[in-house]
């Protein structure tokens, strides 16, 4: 299974689409800030929504290192398995 076909990727894509006005297709290599125009305040809201959706908690150092859709999905997968 590739990242683009994973359940986590599909769910995150839907959440990201709700947080951006940009209409490009969500792909793993998209930059969350630059390509999706999500600023730090929106990212904070996004992280809170993801924490609720997956019943996980993002450590600040983990959240600050997320820059692409792929890194976000990978972080969620790591935190789900802790």
Q: Which domains does the chain have, with CATH numbers?
A: 3-80 (1.10.1200.10)
Average pLDDT over residues 3-18: 87
Per-residue pLDDT of 13-70, as tens digits, reads 999 999 899 999 999 999 999 999 998 888 889 989 999 999 999 888 887 789 999 9
Q: How many CB atoms lie within 10 A of CB 46?
A: 22
Give pTM, 2 decimals.
0.87
- Name the nearest CA neighbour of 48 among 33, 61, 60: 60
- Name the nearest CA neighbour of 75 among 3, 25, 2: 3
3-state secondary structure of 24: coil
With a CB cutoff of 8 Å and minimum separation 6, the contacts of 48 are none
């Amino acid at each position: 299974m590739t990242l683009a076909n994973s359940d986590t990727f599909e769910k995150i894509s839907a959440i990201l689409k709700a947080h951006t006005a940009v209409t490009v297709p969500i792909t793993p290599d998209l930059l969350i800030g630059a390509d999706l125009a999500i600023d730090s305040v929106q990212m904070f809201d996004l992280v809170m929504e993801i924490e609720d959706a997956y019943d996980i908690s993002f450590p600040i150092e983990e959240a600050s290192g997320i820059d692409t859709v792929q890194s976000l999905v990978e972080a969620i997968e790591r935190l789900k398995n802790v």
